Structure 1
Amino acid sequence: MIVTYNWLKEYVDFSLSPEELSHRLTMAGLEVDAMDHLGAGLDSVIVARLETVEPHPQADRLTCCQVNTGSEVIPVVCGATNHRAGDLVALATVGSVLPGDFKIKKSKIRGYESRGMLCSETELGLARESAGILILPPDLPLGEPLFSALQLKDVRYEIGLTPNRADCLSVVGIAREVAAIAGSRLRLPQPAAVPETSDGIADLARVDIDQPDMCPRYMARLIRSVTIGPSPQWLVRRLETLGLRSINNVVDVTNYVLMELGHPLHAFDFNRLRGGRIQVRAAQEGDRFTTLDGQERLLQSGDAVICDAVGPVALAGIMGGENSEINDQTRDVLLESAYFDSLTIRRTSKRLGIHSESSHRFERGADIAMVPLALERAAVLIQQLAGGELVRGTLDSYVRPLLPRTLQLRRQAANGLLGLDLSLTRMAALLESIGLACRELPDERLEVVVPTGRHDLEREVDLVEEIARLHGYDEIPVTLPVSRILLQKPDARQQLIGRVRDQLVAQGASELINYSFVSPTLWDRLQLADDDLRRQNVRILNPLTEEQSVMRTSLVPSMLETLARNLSYRNTDLTLFELRPVFRVSDQDLPQEGLRLCLALTGRRMPEGWAQTDQMVDFFDLKGLIEGLAQALNLGSVSFVAGSGEPFLHPGKSCCLWSGGLQPRQLGVLGELHPVVQDCFELPQPVFIADLDVEALVALGSAPVCFTPISRYPDVTRDSAFLVDAEVPAQALLDVVQQMRLVDLDEVVLFDLYTGSGVPEGKKSLAIRARYRSREKTLTDEEISQMHGRLVKEVLKKLPAQLR
């Protein structure tokens, strides 16, 4: 929002300097982003009179002027054509520096001396564009600095407002804040009394509101026999100061009142309104309507439109239509002042891509109490600037009154939040300074009536915030908070999840976090069956894009997309994991949420370096990573069972992970990515991936880690090789040994797998190494032989095996 120092003084008396006002506004929550001193450094641009104007003898488009400065007559060569002898003009004398660092020097132009420059409004920074040099009023004193003579010296503030402060989107709104800061009173502009015609507006026009939820109130006045023309200079300069372009006297008045009072208005050419009727209703689906910018708009049933007796003439609260705009032939003006629902305007404005000064205010919430004042103010100004006569009476359709909100404020609660000790009287005075009505209640409470223009004040804490900023943030003392420090120990679930992350990072994996929103097309690329439960997605009501329109039911697709993106950037050696929730459709109001762990490996086994080999990761790297995780969590025995049943995994290079114990439970799947899925995600190299159920890990829990001292006695190892069928897994052999629970058996490992010469077809040789050690004594060779013999017999008994 842009305001000026002098304009604010028209509505409130204050003695703050421009710099102090900027600081006080910023400290009150209205941050001043920029402050410009208009006319500063331009005192050398003076009022001068053209004594003679003659054509330049050597240039068709130049004129040679004799310019009277009040103390001397000097020659100036000018390139404009809109001046003549006797005009008062703006003369930039030699040495002047105009906006844009343009320096005026004494020079010769086509052989004729020029000792200054006749300036246009654009060159002085008073307008964005101009047709020629600035012609001044004839009664200004010669030699007077231009900006002082025209009373243009001012300070312009550009204030950055937060979206909730719609009440400050006007000069009067900012002036209300200044009045509170300076301890003064706000003066609202009072329209002058203007004679009205004998006939009434009700006999000539009519207003109907069909959608009270879209438009609770609509008012209108009629001004007849106006003359459309340019606006006076004071109005043009006011608008230019705010960054608005002058159009004509009627439209300029509506823009001026908009910036002054903050309430949007619209002027219709009354003679182009068919039937002399205004109807506020919802658009019909598929309606087409051309707005003032010449664009045809396709409307929907949720859009609010202003119609005459035939069809739409304006998009309510956003922009008028070409079929009713003010032009040079307009003679009668119907002036609209209304209140439109912010949600309706915001939705239509966003969908159509139209953002106007009007929609900007209605979207954030206008003040319904400002409707009559804005209408009367604009009607009187139009009559004064465009002539004509005001038709008696006002059309006022107020079908759904909006009442002020009433809140209660507790003194103790407010002081507790602010760390102050303000009296209830002081709090009431601060709130009343910005237009809130207060009444004291028992128990040190205030009843506060919030004006209809303060949509941001909804709760008690909002009033506390107003007290804080009006009292002054710099007046709040610095104190140390008094509170108790509570120790919150993570529960067993949180501890286990933390240990999972720590262990994976310790093994060289990097964690990633993807969006929970994914595309529904990912499940096709993952080759999931049509009846797969993971295809039943929770849809998002207002997705940002179709690519993020459903909640994920698996972490695998996002992991594969991340891998593909990294590989495309030539980051080829990756060990990644994601530990995040997935969301499944449930019978409850909220989706079912479960924690999953996705692991992925691809590329070389060792990082790039002088000792790096070309060995690529394989299934057993992923298996080892999971075994290390199970060991770190002390989950007990886990087993890997061939075949996963997952369509995104290679059927011959994948398996399921199961927990041990009396009631085994599937913990997840792992394996090499299926070649078809690999092509669908454009992955140029093999990927090994695991999808684990963290909730199952949590339910399984982890046994406490106990320290066992190392035995002081020596160990002895025995090796044995067994001939088994080729389809018997090595884990079956290890399981038989572990189930024996031999007291002095320290460890058993598989150290060899052999097929080939000497081994029959369909068989394989598995060799184990058992280490024996007692914690109480040194074992004899006989004791070790007996234990190892029992181990071999048990294997031969439980498995179809032969000792080699």
Structure 2
Amino acid sequence: MIVTYNWLNEFVDFNLSPEELSHRLTMAGLEVDAMERLGDGLDNVVVARLSSVESHPGADRLTLCQVETGSGTVPVVCGARNHKAGDLVALAQVGSVLPGDFKIKKSKIRGEVSMGMLCSEKELGLAEEAEGIMILSADLPLGQPVFEALGLKDVRYEIGLTPNRPDCLSLLGVAREVAAMVGKPLKMPSVVVEEGGGSIDSLTSVSVEEAGLCPRYAARLIRGVRIGPSPEWLVRRLEAVGQRSINNVVDVTNYVLMELGHPLHAFDFSLLRQGRIVVRRPQEGQAFNTLDGAERILGSYNLAICDGVGPVALAGIMGGENSEVQPETTDILLESAYFNPVSIRRSSKRLGIHSESSHRFERGADVDMVPLALDRAASLIHEVAGGEIARGVIDIYPNRIEPRRISLEVQRSNRILGLDLEQQEVLRLLRSIGLEAEPATDREDEAVYVTVPTFRPDLEREIDLIEEVARLHGYDRIPVTMPAGRMICHQPAEHQRGVSSVREAMVGAGFSEVTNYSFIAPGAWDKLGLAGDDSRRETVRILNPLNEDQSVMRTSLVPSLLENVSRNLAYRLGDLRLFELRPVFRPLAGEELPEEGLRLVAALCGRREPEGWAQGAEKVDFFDLKGVAETLLESFSLSGVQWQSDAGELFLHPGKSCSLSVKASQLGTLGEVHPRTLESFGIDQPVFLLDLDFEALLKASGERPGFRPLSRYPDTERDSALLLDEEVPAQRLLDVLEGAKGKLVEDVVLFDLYRGKGIPEGKKSIALRVRYRSAEKTLTDDEINAAHEKLIKALCKKLEAQVR
């Protein structure tokens, strides 16, 4: 919201300095984002008269002007064409510095000396666009600074409002806050409506079919207006608050919008078919062209302002081209209404339109401002555009919206704020911003009853009033105290410990955590190559997605992580170790909310070691990722993990992947990503992927191992080589060893695998090393040999192995 110092002074008599006003507004909760002094440093831009205007001898599009400043005459070369001899103009003299740090110097343009520049409104920072130089009123004194002569020296404040303060989206609302600050009365603008001619009821009619969406609709008819440029005072006032002048009628509606905060709309009455207004929903799929030139497809969720045939405006958002005020317009139907905020917000969002009008209506306009804004605008239109205001006003308000009545306990307010305010002081503070507050005589405690006016829709509960007391008393006047606190010994839950354990394990393995959006594109499953009946294709769709690529909740973390890999590779970061531990969302039949469960995904690619003169250039492979998975499983004290070759995932290579399970409970998969999937993500090098179900991992975790004292007796190792069938997996061998090792076996390592010369077809040779140790004594050779022989016999019997 933009306001100016001088305009605020018309509503409240105050003598605060511009800097002090900025500070006081900010401390009152209306944060001033920027303060700009209009005309500051531009005293060298003066009122001057064009004594002569001639064509430039060296350029057809330039003119050579002799400019009288009151203290002399200087030559100026000008590129505009809207001036003539005798006009008063704004002359930036040599040495002036215009907005944008543009310094005016003496120059020679196409051979002619130019001693300054004739300025437009844009060059002086008074408008965003300008078609020519600024032509001033003929009665201004020569040589006087332009901003001073026009009364434009002012201070402009840009206020950043929170969405709960729609009452301050106007000069009146901000002035109400200033009046409360300085303890002065608020002066409302005078409204005098001079009616004449026929009665409005005999000339037009209004019917509201959707009273729930439009609780109040008022209108006035003004006939015989003359559309044209606005008077200078109106143009300057609008430009000062960032509004562009269009014509006198539209400018008045924008002026009242900024002054009172209530949106208005002017219809060309001659373009309203059947000469009447109907407030209703449009037909589904109906096309409608708005004032911005775009075609909108309307739906039943919209509310439209219609004439006797079809829509002429989107209620509370934007008017239509088919009823726009044009230069030949003579009769105006002026609308002032109140619309349901939720309806306006929904329509504005779905249609992708945001206007000054919708910005106010969707936050909650003031229903009681409807007639005042209507009369104020009608009076000003009559003043600047002439015409005759028809007698009477149409005001449809079937169900009056009553103001809220809230009680406030003074002692509770003091207790919450740490203050010691008396009841009378609380009453004074609340009354200063227009709230009707009175003592609660029917209660024994010190309390007040507050009737909240309709311009404050944000005040709904007692705590809201307590916040107003704090704000009006002054946040800086609330005493500073140290918060009281208790030391509590908090033991994290098992789930939290598990999450921390996973993150520590992954970071310890050299991985970096990534965080992606919880919603992805529906096409992500096609890029993964999931089967058509894969349950992960059943997703929860978002009702109001930011875009189509973020329209469904993810059921897998894999697509997002592969996108991360692809993006990093595109930036030539080829050695990657990434992981993500986040929830996925699976829809539940008959349930409104989806099932949420954490999953862990990790991706590995590139070099095994960082690049360097002393490091190798080997690339990571499946076993690097397998080692990470084993370390992770070990941190959960898992035992009996089954590694099954071929994960069964279409996005993993069938010959280079496996699945993990514990007691028939699936933990997840890992392996090399299938080349077809890599191609769909634009990845041109091998990537190894781990995808685990964290919830299943946590459920299957065992008890944390306790401390066991180290044996002080020596260990002894025995090596053996066994001939096995090619189909026997290493895990099967380890399972047999686990069941037969006895209490003397401390560790077993498979340290060699051999196929080739001397090994029969379909066989493989596996060498294992067993370490024996007792916690009670030094073992003898006989004890060790007996234990080792028993172990090897168990392997030979259960696996049909042969000792080499």
TM-score relative to the length of structure 1: 0.90
1:683–1:131 CA distance, 2 compared to 1 (3 A): closer
SS in 2 for 1:623: helix
SS in 2 for 1:250: helix
User: Corresponding residue for 1:511?
Assistant: 513
1:124–1:732 CA distance, 2 compared to 1 (3 A): closer
The residue correspondences of 1:716-755 to structure 2 (distance < 5 A) are: 716-755=716-755
1:204–1:749 CA distance, 2 compared to 1 (3 A): same
Contact kept? 1:713, 1:775, Cα under 8 Å: yes
Deviation at 1:206, TM superposition (A): 0.5
Deviation at 1:182, TM superposition (A): 0.8
SS in 2 for 1:167: helix
User: Corresponding residue for 1:616?
Assistant: 619
Deviation at 1:336, TM superposition (A): 1.3
1:774–1:144 CA distance, 2 compared to 1 (3 A): closer
SS in 2 for 1:597: strand
Letter in 2 for 1:368: V
Deviation at 1:586, TM superposition (A): 1.7
What is the CA deviation profile of residues 701-734 of structure 1, one whole-angstrom value per residue up to 9, with x for unaligned ones?
A: 3323233333222222222333332222333333
Deviation at 1:142, TM superposition (A): 6.5
Letter in 2 for 1:766: I
Deviation at 1:90, TM superposition (A): 6.0
Letter in 1 for 2:436: A
Structure 1 residue 35 corresponds to structure 2 residue 38: no
Segment of structure 1 superposing worse, 38-47 or 423-432? 38-47
Deviation at 1:779, TM superposition (A): 2.1
The residue correspondences of 1:450-489 to structure 2 (distance < 5 A) are: 450-489=452-491
What is the CA deviation profile of residues 5-24 of structure 1, one whole-angstrom value per residue up to 9, with x for unaligned ones?
A: 22112111112122211221
1:132–1:686 CA distance, 2 compared to 1 (3 A): closer
1:395–1:141 CA distance, 2 compared to 1 (3 A): same
User: Corresponding residue for 1:490?
Assistant: 492
Deviation at 1:53, TM superposition (A): 5.7
Letter in 2 for 1:561: E
1:744–1:455 CA distance, 2 compared to 1 (3 A): same
User: Corresponding residue for 2:636?
Assistant: 633
CA distance in structure 2 between the partners assigned to 1:688 and 1:142 by the alignment: 81
Letter in 2 for 1:650: H
Deviation at 1:480, TM superposition (A): 0.5
Structure 1 residue 345 corresponds to structure 2 residue 344: yes
Deviation at 1:339, TM superposition (A): 1.4
Contact kept? 1:337, 1:371, Cα under 8 Å: yes
CA distance in structure 1 between the partners assigned to 2:261 and 2:688 by the alignment: 63
What is the CA deviation profile of residues 499-526 of structure 1, one whole-angstrom value per residue up to 9, with x for unaligned ones?
A: 2221222222332222221223232333
Deviation at 1:170, TM superposition (A): 1.4
User: Corresponding residue for 2:398?
Assistant: 399
1:187–1:537 CA distance, 2 compared to 1 (3 A): same
SS in 1 for 2:375: helix
Deviation at 1:189, TM superposition (A): 1.0
User: Corresponding residue for 2:577?
Assistant: 575
User: Corresponding residue for 1:425?
Assistant: 424
User: Corresponding residue for 2:254?
Assistant: 255
CA distance in structure 2 between the partners assigned to 1:110 and 1:527 by the alignment: 69
1:347–1:731 CA distance, 2 compared to 1 (3 A): closer
Letter in 2 for 1:667: L
The residue correspondences of 1:571-720 to structure 2 (distance < 5 A) are: 571-587=573-589, 588-659=591-662, 663=663, 665-720=665-720
1:134–1:594 CA distance, 2 compared to 1 (3 A): closer
SS in 2 for 1:467: helix
The residue correspondences of 1:166-565 to structure 2 (distance < 5 A) are: 166-192=166-192, 194=194, 196-197=195-196, 199-441=198-440, 442=443, 443-565=445-567
Letter in 2 for 1:134: I
SS in 2 for 1:238: helix
1:551–1:359 CA distance, 2 compared to 1 (3 A): closer
Letter in 2 for 1:764: K
1:533–1:148 CA distance, 2 compared to 1 (3 A): closer
What is the CA deviation profile of residues 185-205 of structure 1, one whole-angstrom value per residue up to 9, with x for unaligned ones?
A: 1111121252x3263111111
SS in 2 for 1:285: coil
Segment of structure 1 superposing worse, 115-124 or 292-301? 115-124
Contact kept? 1:636, 1:703, Cα under 8 Å: no
Segment of structure 1 superposing worse, 156-165 or 364-373? 156-165
Letter in 2 for 1:273: L
SS in 2 for 1:10: helix
Deviation at 1:48, TM superposition (A): 6.8
SS in 2 for 1:798: helix
1:430–1:671 CA distance, 2 compared to 1 (3 A): same
User: Corresponding residue for 1:566?
Assistant: 568
Contact kept? 1:83, 1:133, Cα under 8 Å: no
User: Corresponding residue for 2:798?
Assistant: 798
1:744–1:35 CA distance, 2 compared to 1 (3 A): closer
Letter in 2 for 1:716: T
Contact kept? 2:601, 2:690, Cα under 8 Å: yes
CA distance in structure 2 between the partners assigned to 1:472 and 1:111 by the alignment: 64
Deviation at 1:667, TM superposition (A): 2.6
SS in 2 for 1:364: coil
1:783–1:473 CA distance, 2 compared to 1 (3 A): same
The residue correspondences of 1:148-159 to structure 2 (distance < 5 A) are: 148-159=148-159
CA distance in structure 1 between the partners assigned to 2:676 and 2:716 by the alignment: 51
What is the CA deviation profile of residues 209-235 of structure 1, one whole-angstrom value per residue up to 9, with x for unaligned ones?
A: 112233211111122233333332222
Deviation at 1:337, TM superposition (A): 1.1
CA distance in structure 1 between the partners assigned to 2:398 and 2:175 by the alignment: 31
CA distance in structure 1 between the partners assigned to 2:122 and 2:717 by the alignment: 99
Structure 1 residue 134 corresponds to structure 2 residue 135: yes
Segment of structure 1 superposing worse, 128-137 or 640-649? 128-137
Letter in 2 for 1:11: F
Segment of structure 1 superposing worse, 234-243 or 180-189? 234-243
What is the CA deviation profile of residues 92-130 of structure 1, one whole-angstrom value per residue up to 9, with x for unaligned ones?
A: 677666656677789999999998877665665555536
Structure 1 residue 162 corresponds to structure 2 residue 162: yes
What is the CA deviation profile of residues 406-435 of structure 1, one whole-angstrom value per residue up to 9, with x for unaligned ones?
A: 333333443343332333332332222111
CA distance in structure 1 between the partners assigned to 2:134 and 2:668 by the alignment: 82
Letter in 2 for 1:529: A
Segment of structure 1 superposing worse, 468-477 or 283-292? 283-292
CA distance in structure 2 between the partners assigned to 1:27 and 1:159 by the alignment: 12
Contact kept? 1:216, 1:339, Cα under 8 Å: yes
Letter in 2 for 1:514: N
Contact kept? 1:74, 1:115, Cα under 8 Å: no
CA distance in structure 1 between the partners assigned to 2:672 and 2:121 by the alignment: 74
SS in 2 for 1:197: strand
What is the CA deviation profile of residues 51-108 of structure 1, one whole-angstrom value per residue up to 9, with x for unaligned ones?
A: x768699799868769584xx67576686775566x7766767766665667778999
SS in 2 for 1:334: strand
CA distance in structure 2 between the partners assigned to 1:294 and 1:321 by the alignment: 9
Deviation at 1:179, TM superposition (A): 0.4
Deviation at 1:472, TM superposition (A): 1.5
What is the CA deviation profile of residues 354-408 of structure 1, one whole-angstrom value per residue up to 9, with x for unaligned ones?
A: 4333233223322111110011111122222223322211011113432323333
Contact kept? 1:121, 1:134, Cα under 8 Å: no
Larger Rg: 1
Contact kept? 2:46, 2:69, Cα under 8 Å: no
CA distance in structure 1 between the partners assigned to 2:110 and 2:795 by the alignment: 115
CA distance in structure 2 between the partners assigned to 1:473 and 1:356 by the alignment: 33
Letter in 2 for 1:589: E
CA distance in structure 1 between the partners assigned to 2:735 and 2:435 by the alignment: 80
SS in 1 for 2:11: coil
What is the CA deviation profile of residues 146-190 of structure 1, one whole-angstrom value per residue up to 9, with x for unaligned ones?
A: 544543333222222233322112111111111011111111112
